[in-house]
């Protein structure tokens, strides 16, 4: 079975909107390696419409320009790109297709499809990530937490009553102070203050 994994740039106060406005001062070789280890090696991308439009508006031209980021742009161009959208866009970027049917059913089919068990990555695409988490379909959540409070913008986790328990799988600190955190879904924990008191220092 294929796994669905997500990578997001996120601020200290949980903002994921418009990272181009606050992210780049923290981009160094360590973060470049983290991005390359995910999107730079993906053969399949699952993208929301806004993220796809942003990618399609930039990366084909960068590949054609042949600059230093052209190899990365080619990887994105060569990857299969599945777009979750209610509309019916006319794709001009190669290897693009529309996700057919409701997201949960379509992603379940993608995970179970025959073929190489390579990971399917989503970048940005916050609404897609939220739906995947809610449906229990996201296998890994990679958050690159930037040491900045943006103070405005869409956050990854909305104000809802249902908690989202996660298990920390790995943690790395970059020289810029960015935390590279990898989480997997986890079962909800149980505990009360009475349980917690047993771990407090006894004087």
* pLDDT at residue 195 greater than cutoff 90: no
Greater confidence (162 vs 13) lies with: 13
pLDDT of the residue at 126:
95
Kindly list the distances between the CA atom of residue 201 and the CA atoms of 74, 97, 192, 194, 198, in Å, as whole numbers in the listed order. 56, 58, 17, 14, 8
pLDDT-based confidence at 165, cuts 50/70/90?
very high
**What pLDDT is attached to residue 17?**
95
Question: Measured between alpha carbons, how far is residue 96 from residues 50, 82, 141 in Å?
Answer: 14, 6, 24
The per-residue pLDDT of the chain, averaged, comes to 93
- Angle, in degrees to the nearest 10, between helices 126-135 and 103-112: 80
pLDDT score recorded for residue 193 = 85
Residue 163: its pLDDT value, please? Answer: 87
pLDDT band, residue 71 (cuts 50/70/90): very high
- Residue range 117-131, pLDDT digits in tens: 789 999 999 999 999
Q: Which domains does the chain have, with CATH numbers?
A: 4-188 (3.40.430.10)
Q: What is the pLDDT of residue 121?
A: 96
Element (H, E) at 62: helix 59-65
203 has pLDDT over 80: no
Rounded mean pLDDT, 80-97:
94
Q: Is the pLDDT of residue 159 over 90?
A: no
């Amino acid at each position: 079975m294929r796994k669905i994994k997500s990578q997001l740039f996120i601020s200290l106060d949980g903002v994921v909107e418009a990272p181009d406005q606050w992210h780049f001062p923290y981009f160094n070789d360590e973060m470049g390696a983290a991005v390359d280890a995910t999107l730079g090696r993906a053969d399949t991308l699952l993208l929301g419409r806004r993220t796809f439009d942003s990618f399609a508006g930039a990366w084909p031209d960068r590949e054609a320009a042949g600059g230093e980021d052209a190899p990365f742009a080619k990887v994105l161009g060569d990857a299969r790109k599945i777009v979750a959208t209610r509309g019916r866009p006319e794709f001009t970027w190669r290897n693009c297709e529309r996700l057919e049917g409701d997201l949960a059913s379509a992603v379940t089919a993608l995970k179970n499809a025959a073929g190489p068990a390579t990971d399917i990555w989503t970048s940005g695409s916050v609404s897609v990530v939220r739906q995947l988490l809610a449906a229990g379909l996201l296998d890994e959540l990679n958050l690159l937490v930037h040491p900045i409070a943006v103070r405005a913008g869409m956050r990854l986790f909305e104000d809802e009553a249902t908690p989202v328990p996660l298990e920390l799988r790995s943690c790395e600190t970059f020289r810029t102070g960015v935390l590279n955190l990898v989480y997997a879904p986890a079962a909800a924990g149980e505990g009360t203050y009475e349980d917690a008191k047993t771990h407090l220092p006894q004087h």
